[in-house]
Amino acid sequence: MTATETLDVCVVGLGYIGLPTSAVLASRGHRVHGVEINAKSREIINSGRAHIVEPDLDMLVRAGIESGRLQAHPEPAPADVFMLCVPTPVGEGCAANLDYVRSATESICPVLKKGNLVILESTSPPGSTEMIAEIVFQNTKFQAGDIYFAHAPERVLPGHILQEVVQNDRIIGGIDEVSTQVAAGFFKTFVQGELILCHSRTAEMAKLVENASRDVQIAFANELSMICDDLDIDVRQLIHIANRHPRVNILQPGCGVGGHCIAVDPWFIVHLAKGKARLIETAREVNNSKPLWVAEKVKAAASKLREPVIACFGAAYKPDIDDLRESPALEIIQNLQAAKIGRVLVVEPNIESLPGCELVNMDQALTQADIVVFLVGHGPFLALRAAQLAEKIVIDACGALASINS
């Protein structure tokens, strides 16, 4: 594969990673056959729109559809390259549930041909890429060397995916040296960052380690916030002061940790390490405890009012996206609803509906609420004026007040 070669690429899974990747590939001239089992999502994509919120993605999807280089289908088709972009949730005993990966691999077996490249994008524990190779060999006539297999984990930030999928350095690990080189040739067609080559097991572990490291750092900040609350210390001022030390860089606390990576991937290491990942496991426990701690703070405030109205600002797992996966904000909202301590309003500007919740706009929330709870620092929330929160009980779990009061 050369940097200017036009390829047929089959992307299995058009979600938060698969669709942006497909749109970028199409913009680079590749012909992309996207596989999406959700009929409504397929319809939206084929109409030239994105079914997820990501800056500029609508425009890039529309361009791909109009050019004929991007289409969404229910089944795989023959291609030069296959990319598996399916979920890998936490399963029983903290192990990775690889059912979607197995199913996606089995689905492409009937259309594989000799010389194809199969890339596992999904975050997976060490050995997963070798597992999909075994599945292919068991379900086809191919032997080792006929098909190339590699793992190339995404390392992108939601809200910046279209830039980072191109500009970020990319880890590429094949099950053998030839697979690594073939995969590198493909990624050179659209990645501007450095290609970091290694074995597939190292690539798989690297992604887990990156996210576990972030989780530990966030846990320190979240634990510090709970300690400072007991000591009546402004944790954000404290962190600002401590970070003046030239070798200290404490992150900002929040209402927990969510999303498809940081809240999930460390558990895979805990499962594999068999008792040795004590720090990683404790960090997960600290971050998992933070939503309950926030909810208890809200309940304590609500208990002092008669028939309180509580407005929760934010339900996504991070600012300015619509992704609710593993969202600590949503966990807090559901906890408050279950406690039946008052009427719970939800303000989430990036989604149109939230089953089981009373979704309102900012003006409605500010008019009706006695208690305002900032859970996610969405841009529109940070543009509020302090005067709009006058006479409200405000609980800030994400640092929004620093921007509102500035």
Using CA atoms, how far residue 122 sits from 32, 57, 295, in Å, is 18, 20, 32
- Flag whether pLDDT at 389 surpasses 80: yes
Q: How much is the pLDDT for 93?
A: 87
- Flag whether pLDDT at 171 surpasses 90: yes
Q: Which residues of 333-354 are buried (b: 16+ CB within 10 A; e: fewer)?
A: bbbbbeeebbbbbbbbbbbeee
Q: How much is the pLDDT for 88?
A: 95
**Residue 120: which H helix or E strand, with range?**
strand 117-120
| pTM metric for this prediction | 0.91
Confidence of residue 304 (pLDDT cuts 50, 70, 90): very high
Q: Which tens digits make up the pLDDT trace of 71-110?
A: 999 999 999 999 999 999 999 888 999 999 999 999 999 9
Say how far apart CA 375 and CA 377 lie, in whole Å.
7
Q: How much is the pLDDT for 406?
A: 62
- Flag whether pLDDT at 119 surpasses 90: yes
Are the CB atoms for 81 and 62 separated by under 8 Å?
A: no
Question: What's the chain's Rg over C-alpha atoms?
Answer: 23
Say how far apart CA 75 and CA 402 lie, in whole Å.
49
Q: Which tens digits make up the pLDDT trace of 286-299?
A: 999 999 999 999 99
Q: Determine the 3-state secondary structure of 171 from DSSP.
A: strand
Q: How much is the pLDDT for 1?
A: 66
Mean pLDDT of the chain: 96
Q: How much is the pLDDT for 2?
A: 62
Are the CB atoms for 310 and 370 separated by under 8 Å?
A: yes
Nearest to 98, CA basis, from 107, 88, 84, 109:
88
Q: Which H, E and C letters describe 37-82, residue by residue?
A: CCHHHHHHHHCCCCCCCCCCHHHHHHHHHHHCCEEEECCCCCCCEE
Q: How much is the pLDDT for 286?
A: 98
Q: How much is the pLDDT for 5?
A: 79
Q: Who's near 246: CB < 8 A, 6+ residues apart?
A: none
Mean pLDDT across 121-131: 97
Q: Determine the 3-state secondary structure of 173 from DSSP.
A: strand
Residue tagged 């992108």 (tokens): 156
Are the CB atoms for 94 and 274 separated by under 8 Å?
A: no
Confidence of residue 360 (pLDDT cuts 50, 70, 90): very high
Confidence of residue 4 (pLDDT cuts 50, 70, 90): low
Q: How much is the pLDDT for 260?
A: 85
Q: Who's near 35: CB < 8 A, 6+ residues apart?
A: 10, 11, 12, 13, 14, 72, 73, 74, 75, 76, 107
Q: What is the DSSP letter of 251?
A: P
Mean pLDDT across 122-139: 97
Mean pLDDT across 302-331: 95
Using CA atoms, how far residue 173 sits from 126, 153, 178, 187, 207, in Å, is 11, 9, 10, 12, 11
- Flag whether pLDDT at 367 surpasses 90: yes
Compute CA 180 distance to the chain's CA centroid, rounded to the nearest angstrom.
Answer: 26
Q: Which tens digits make up the pLDDT trace of 28-44?
A: 999 999 999 999 999 99
**Catalytic residue IDs:** 207, 261
Nearest to 121, CA basis, from 137, 101, 102, 139:
101
- Flag whether pLDDT at 158 surpasses 80: yes
Say how far apart CA 353 and CA 358 lie, in whole Å.
9
Confidence of residue 347 (pLDDT cuts 50, 70, 90): very high
Which position has the higher pLDDT, 102 or 321? 102
Confidence of residue 301 (pLDDT cuts 50, 70, 90): very high
Q: What are phi and psi of 210, to 5 degrees?
A: -55, -45
Are the CB atoms for 44 and 50 separated by under 8 Å?
A: yes
Mean pLDDT across 298-321: 96
Say how far apart CA 381 and CA 348 lie, in whole Å.
10
Q: Encoding tokens for residue 253?
A: 């606390």
Domains and CATH numbers, the chain: 8-193 (3.40.50.720), 209-404 (3.40.50.720)
- Flag whether pLDDT at 3 surpasses 90: no
Using CA atoms, how far residue 114 sits from 2, 17, 77, 133, 252, in Å, is 18, 27, 14, 13, 50
